Chains A and B, each alone.
Chain A
Amino acid sequence: MKFAQAGVAESEQVFDTGVMGVPAELQEQVQRVAPVVLAAEQLLPVPEIFHPVLPSGGLQRGWTTRVYGGPSARALAWALLSNITTTGGWVAAVDVPGIGLSAAREVGVAIERVLVVTSPDASTWSATIGALIGSVDVIVFGAPRHRVQPSEYRRMSSRCRERGTVMVELGSSGEGQLQYDLAFSVDPVEWQGLGRGYGRLQARGLDVSVSGRRTKGPARNARFELPAIDGRLRRVDQARPNLSAVS
């Protein structure tokens, strides 16, 4: 009896689906045929400027992440994903309203490898995400408009871990519905290039704080310029004197 209970608990851990009563020999089979995930091979490439803020210098396949903090969060998300698309990976954007793909293109995203998906209503939302898990490398999704059951979320993230797809939720506030492996909090600090009646927007400074259960330790902070005044993406190492918007 005790053994049976342990088996059930274990099988729940394996599947994380709540399916009860999987016999032990089946479990063994499952162990054998389950895709082997080697951590070191499973890093998705990110631009070098982001290496210091990421725990292993890249985005680990299977992680669930969240990028939040106003529209600038999208700029960070696209910059983070740019190398994945240019090295042959696919990104799907699910329910991202008003998606500005020209901005994505400017930070280096190969937009021909971005699928833009709209789920018509709440009932198809999780099936849409489910169809993409394992098929694309990254799923970017806008915060769902409906309440998603925690069990559904857990199931999604465990499937992601198994199939090696990274989920990136774009949020506006810090409150997400999911437990995140990584959360990027984005705080816009300054705009350069625009004056009072002259100039144009040229450089965007962002304070990024990375936390989550994978960061091992306190949140990592850094300031990025996406883009900097010369059009490139850059990490600002030293705390610089805060430039006024009038440069």
Chain B
Amino acid sequence: MGVVRGIRRREAQGRCPDILIAERDLAGEARAFEAVAAAIEAFTPRIELTQPGTCVFPTVGPSRYFGGDASLAEQILEAVDTVLAGQTECHIGIADGVFAARLAARMRRGGPCIIAPGGSTEFLAPLPITTLEQPELTNVLWRLGLRTLGDFAALDPSDVLGRFAREGLQAHHRASGTDDRLADVTDPPPDMAVSLSLEPPVERIDQAAFAARQLALELDAKLQRRGAACSRVTIEAESEHGERFIRGWRHEGALSVAAMTDRVRWQLDGWLNASPNVRPSGGLSLLVLRPENLIPAAGRQLGFWGGETEADQRAGRAVARLEALVGADNVQVAEWRGGREPDDMIRLLPAGTVELSDRQLSIFDERPWPGQLPAPSPVELFAEHAIQVVDADGTAVTVSGRGKISAPPAQVCLDGRTWRTVVSWAGPWLLDERWWDQERFRRRARFQLVDDEGNALLAYIQKGHWWLAGTY
């Protein structure tokens, strides 16, 4: 038992009532992980980060030098533990392929988990099919009766390719432990790298990230012309005093523009906030993105039905321009989240952090929200807009703790000056949510009011005060 990866928030709270829940902070993780990556870099220069917290590297060379896989793993473990200083622990797995090595590391068998060469297929075979972490594919495989990676790996690759196309074949490679180098990966010609010199040198991470986005767009366009995408990118950064910082990042599939931008941001975040002897002494003056492991770009064809369209690309470019103009937080896209109050239902996210073309599916996630006001919703929302609502005698309307209204509302004043007559009204509809959360709990009674000018309002009373939530 205990809190583990993948459980729901409510469940985690059930298992550990004192739990402190934090939003995932990838930039923070990247910063913290930078020290670990630097420690491992002392052993081998060829490390590749997949995401903050995980890195992979080939062991053939270093193992020979450091006296075998076991000895290498022990030494790295020791070095990393020194850096981590007991805050968390490091797990090492060595296997034939990246996928198998990652699962081996997750085995958490005290020390490093080393799979003998050629033994990866055997090691993976008993693991459940869901470890592939491709829900769409594994759902189908599960229904076909394939319950373990071994079952899947036993299929003929050509059959898998015929039925599940490229994606399926890649999964098959992973399941059989032969994903160290995919068949259709090619090395790009040297001129594919894109670089950007920053004049004047930038010191702030958001400026650098903005430059990185431009660079990623450029690289993406360049790759696209060749009908390719890359699954690995090497990011080189140079400070104005000539210090260089190079890291390779790899991804299971193709790296999108947003993914590349994130990786540059993570890397620079780690570098600019590193310990003083590693940190660059000046601003950033050069950024280079070097694509590696080119793969055929499967999903980049302009969509006929759905997918990325030209309109999406134009919108994406506008977002990049606007971010420079008004700041990244002032350009937002909406995401449907669901909730009981109109301002809860939609969440606005900075547009630069999401893929603009790929977002339809999450929108249709409709779960019932008991206590939600039915459609139509207010067209204009207000935050912290105090109003007054009085009954026929001119005294403020109140709602008792049991939800009983003191008198029917007769007049409403929105701006502190003019009073309007309430023609029709309904309510109170009580809302009492998140009572377990000190800061976000809400206990209010909501009303709909229509005044004599035909304006329809959504108002609520909370702790004896009236507020305007929206107008219809």
Q: Does B165 lie at the interface of the complex (its beta carbon under 8 Å from any beta carbon of A)?
A: no
Q: Does B327 lie at the interface of the complex (its beta carbon under 8 Å from any beta carbon of A)?
A: yes
Contact residues of B between 297 and 353, Cβ < 8 Å to A: 309, 311-312, 314-315, 317-319, 321-322, 325-327, 330-336, 342, 345-346, 348, 351
Q: Does B471 lie at the interface of the complex (its beta carbon under 8 Å from any beta carbon of A)?
A: yes
**Residue of A78, A111, A114, A127 with most chain B CB atoms under a 10 A cut-off:** A111
Q: Is the CB of B456 within 8 A of A191?
A: yes
Q: A116-B348, A119-B326, A120-B327 are in contact. Are A71 and B379 (CB under 8 A)?
A: yes
Q: With A and B bound together, what is the CA distance between A190 and B455 in angstroms?
A: 9
CB distance from A99 to the nearest CB of B (A): 7
Q: Does A199 lie at the interface of the complex (its beta carbon under 8 Å from any beta carbon of B)?
A: yes
Q: With A and B bound together, what is the CA distance between A119 and B467 in angstroms?
A: 27
Interface size on B, residues (CB 8 A): 52
Q: With A and B bound together, what is the CA distance between A139 and B333 in angstroms?
A: 14
Q: Which chain A residues lie closer than 8 Å to B425 at the CB level?
A: 194, 196-197
Q: Write the chain B residue with the least CB distance to A120.
A: B326
Q: Is the CB of A111 within 8 A of B336?
A: yes
Q: Does A177 lie at the interface of the complex (its beta carbon under 8 Å from any beta carbon of B)?
A: no
Q: Which chain A residues lie closer than 8 Å to B327 at the CB level?
A: 120
Binary contact track A103-138/B, C-beta < 8 Å → 1, others 0: 111100011111111111000100110011011110
User: Which secondary structure dominates chain B's binding surface?
Assistant: mixed
Q: Is the CB of B454 within 8 A of A188?
A: yes
Interface residues of B (CB under 8 A from A): 309, 311-312, 314-315, 317-319, 321-322, 325-327, 330-336, 342, 345-346, 348, 351, 359-360, 363, 373-383, 408, 423-426, 448, 450, 454-456, 470-472
**Residue of B378, B379, B382 with most chain A CB atoms under a 10 A cut-off:** B379
Interface size on A, residues (CB 8 A): 58
Q: List 6 A-B contacts (CB under 8 A).
A: A106-B377, A115-B333, A118-B330, A120-B327, A137-B311, A231-B375
Q: Does A88 lie at the interface of the complex (its beta carbon under 8 Å from any beta carbon of B)?
A: yes
Q: Which chain B residues lie closer than 8 Å to A120 at the CB level?
A: 326-327, 330
> Can you add 18 more A-B contacts, CB < 8 Å, to A197-B425, A199-B424?
A99-B380, A100-B342, A100-B470, A101-B334, A101-B345, A101-B346, A103-B342, A103-B379, A106-B376, A114-B334, A115-B351, A119-B326, A124-B325, A131-B318, A135-B314, A135-B318, A191-B472, A201-B376
Binary contact track A73-92/B, C-beta < 8 Å → 1, others 0: 01100100000000011101
Q: Write the chain A residue with the least CB distance to B374.
A: A200
Q: Is the CB of A98 within 8 A of B470?
A: yes
Q: With A and B bound together, what is the CA distance between A187 and B369 in angstroms?
A: 33
Q: Is the CB of B314 within 8 A of A136?
A: yes
Q: Does A18 lie at the interface of the complex (its beta carbon under 8 Å from any beta carbon of B)?
A: no
Q: Which chain B residues lie closer than 8 Å to A29 at the CB level?
A: none
Q: Is the CB of A115 within 8 A of B346?
A: no
Contact residues of A between 179 and 217, Cβ < 8 Å to B: 188-191, 194-202, 204
Of the candidates B314, B359, B380, the one whose C-beta lies within 8 Å of that of A100 is: B380
CB distance from B356 to the nearest CB of A (A): 8
Q: Does A246 lie at the interface of the complex (its beta carbon under 8 Å from any beta carbon of B)?
A: yes
Q: A110-B363, A119-B326 are in contact. Are A200 and B448 (CB under 8 A)?
A: yes
Q: Is the CB of A117 within 8 A of B309?
A: no
Q: Is the CB of B346 within 8 A of A71?
A: no
Q: With A and B bound together, what is the CA distance between A16 and B380 in angstroms?
A: 36
Q: Does A218 lie at the interface of the complex (its beta carbon under 8 Å from any beta carbon of B)?
A: no
Q: Is the CB of B471 within 8 A of A71?
A: yes
Shortest Cβ-Cβ A-B pairs, 8 listed: A135-B318, A74-B379, A98-B381, A71-B471, A102-B377, A103-B377, A118-B330, A188-B454
Q: With A and B bound together, what is the CA distance between A197 and B376 in angstroms?
A: 18
Q: With A and B bound together, what is the CA distance between A162 and B471 in angstroms?
A: 36
Q: Which chain A residues lie closer than 8 Å to B322 at the CB level?
A: 117, 128, 131-132
Q: Does A171 lie at the interface of the complex (its beta carbon under 8 Å from any beta carbon of B)?
A: no
Q: A115-B315, A120-B330, A136-B318 are in contact. Are A189 and B454 (CB under 8 A)?
A: yes
